[in-house]
Structure 1
């Protein structure tokens, strides 16, 4: 009987710890999770009689996934140009002379309903003294090709629900996984959306800079992201949740699943990435033990979130 009472008191202590942390996390989340739903101009170019404007959420390029709207306007007629062939190439330059890119949509498609060219860019780092980003844009209008470039600033992503990770898979390919949604989850089953991208290793020598074949990425097709969300905080005891769904690719090219957040706080999305043949390219199974007082073990492939 004495042992039973001690066990009950211990469990009550764990539950109390969880409740206190939950309350703290709720207070923290009220001020730390920004939500951006309005597209504003982030950068503009001018060439001759044409103005190119690129819009992003909050008018800012962030590290991670950025949906982009590009508009071309004839400044003489103030009319949108919709028949141009538009290309978009972000390039990061380092002080050591190295040049790299990030997942992006190179040839932008025109959205006839919303009157802009739609694309995206997954910036893999923030702008720093050692690294700078520049956009290279080209378009054709009135049978003439225009090529422009401009330096941009990439800001820190302060919303952990839009985190990303880069890694090399067991197939020796370079991958990027970026969270797209939700911006601000709720204590419920949330639709989870992510992009998975692979760097296309060049097969030919570089041509005239910027040669897009040297900076190409593609959306991977037919993969699966197995999902195991946990609360790794010692006070949470490696807490998990039911009714989660693995992420699979849908018609928009992104990967969709379900993550069930049972409380606010620090969560880790433990992942296992499998290719179209079911081979594991990255990630490990997470132990299911309840470990109060001990930090939970994370997968070899994971993304941290906080809401």
Structure 2
């Protein structure tokens, strides 16, 4: 009986604290979360008689996952482009260059008469480095190339964050959250992109940038094990039922389910396993109920807020 009374008292304190903090979370999430559902023009590139129109959600480029659409026009007429390549390059203040996970050969969408792909920008534009897009397209058998400096903004929506790390196999990996942009209380489809960097074994072509030197590919048939928890001391390492690990879909992205039982700060604790079940990164987290103590996190995690 004493133990029951103690538990109920602790639960009451947690619930009271949660109610207080929930109001603060509502204010913060409303200020931070922009739900991007409409593609808008992010930039236009002039190339002789042609203009390249690049669209993204909300008309901006953000650190993390960006879905991108491209069209080529002559005047106001969309041109019959037979191929389109897309290569983002970041140049550091030291002049060192790098890229990020991206779709080099863009995919044509006949229904909308545009090309579509993605870029996972790993850094925002700041004093330490800048981003340029190197594009090429073919019209009537003639190849055209373009370059454009862009601005990559800070990702303010913590439900669209990303992380990068070296796995136990010494490979550089990237995990980027894609959905939900604005979670709800209850079960939410959780979508992420998982990529790896594959250094070229061939010497550079001598031309900059050489696409072969910037190989980033979605990983195949991996599993991203999921354990969501509320890490705040007031929440006592609270978790939720009915979560599902992320597995790869036909489009190459990874799909699972996260069940948020209330609004607030959540940590998505992950364990990444390859197609053979080997753990590449991530650790189990304690399941103890620990009111007043911050919950421990996996060594692979992303914090979210809604």
CA RMSD, aligned part only? 1.4
Question: Is 2:25 the partner of 1:64?
Answer: no
> 1:2 and 1:42, CA in 2 relative to 1: closer, same or farther beyond 3 A?
closer
For residues 259 and 206 of structure 1, what CA distance do their matches in structure 2 show? 43
| Correspondence 1:235-254 to 2 at 5 A | 235-254=234-253
Q: 1:11 corresponds to which residue?
A: 11
Please say if residues 160 and 178 of structure 2, whose CA atoms lie closer than 8 Å, have aligned partners that are also in contact: yes
So what's the TM-score if we normalise by structure 2? 0.96
Corresponding residue SS for 1:300: coil
- Partner residue in 2 for 1:256: 255
> 2:34 matched to which residue of 1?
34
Could you tell me which of 156, 159, 162 is aligned with 2:160? 162
Tell me the matched-pair count. Answer: 305
The residue aligned with 1:50 is 50
Higher mean Cα deviation, 110-119 or 139-148? Answer: 139-148
How big is the shift at 1:81? 1.9
Maintained 8 Å contact 1:82/1:116: no
* Correspondence 1:262-301 to 2 at 5 A: 262-301=261-300
Query: Which secondary structure state, in structure 2, belongs to the residue aligned with residue 278 of structure 1?
Result: coil
Distance, in Å, in 2 between the alignment partners of 1:17 and 1:61 is 37
Question: Is 1:305 equivalent to 2:304 in the alignment?
Answer: yes
CA displacement, residues 231-284 of structure 1 (integer Å, 9 cap, x when unaligned): 000101110000000000001110000000000000000000000000000000
| Selected match of 1:109 from 96, 107, 110 | 107
User: Structure 1 residues 10 and 142, CA, compared in 2 at 3 Å: closer, same or farther?
Assistant: closer
1:174 alignment counterpart: 172
Secondary structure of the corresponding residue to residue 27 of structure 1: helix
Unmatched segments (≥5 aa) in structure 1:
none
Unmatched runs of 5 consecutive residues or more in structure 2: none
Q: In the alignment, which of 167, 191, 197 is matched to residue 193 of structure 1?
A: 191
Secondary structure of the equivalent of 2:94?
coil
2:227 equivalent in structure 1: 228
CA distance in 1, matches of 2:293, 2:287: 13
- Give the TM-score normalised by the residue count of structure 1: 0.96
Displacement of 1:13 after TM fit?
1.8
**How far apart, in 2, do the equivalents of 1:154 and 1:221 lie?**
28
1 CA distance for matches of 2:4 and 2:115? Answer: 67
The structure-2 alpha-carbon separation of the partners of 1:71 and 1:15, relative to structure 1 and needing over 3 Å to count, comes to same
In the superposition, relative to structure 1, how do residues 3 and 180 fare at CA in structure 2: closer, same or farther (>3 Å)? closer
**Matched residue, 1:140:** 138
Aligned-partner Cα distance in 2 for 1:23–1:99: 44
Match of 2:295, SS state, is: coil
Are the counterparts in 2 of residues 283 and 299 from structure 1 also a CA contact under 8 Å? Answer: yes
Q: Distance in 2 between matches of 1:203 and 1:238?
A: 45
By how many angstroms is 1:131 displaced?
0.4
The Cα of 1:32 is off from its aligned counterpart by 2.4
Contact 2:51–2:72 (CA under 8 A) maintained in structure 1: yes
On the 8 A contact 2:63/2:153 being kept in 1, the answer is: yes
- Residues in 2 aligned to 1:2 and 1:233: alpha-carbon distance in whole angstroms: 26
Instruction: Judge conservation of contact 1:55–1:70 (CA < 8 Å) in 2.
Output: yes
Report Cα offsets for 1:116-162 as digits up to 9, x if no partner: 10010000000011200000001111222111101000000100000
Contact 2:159 2:180 in 1 (8 A): yes
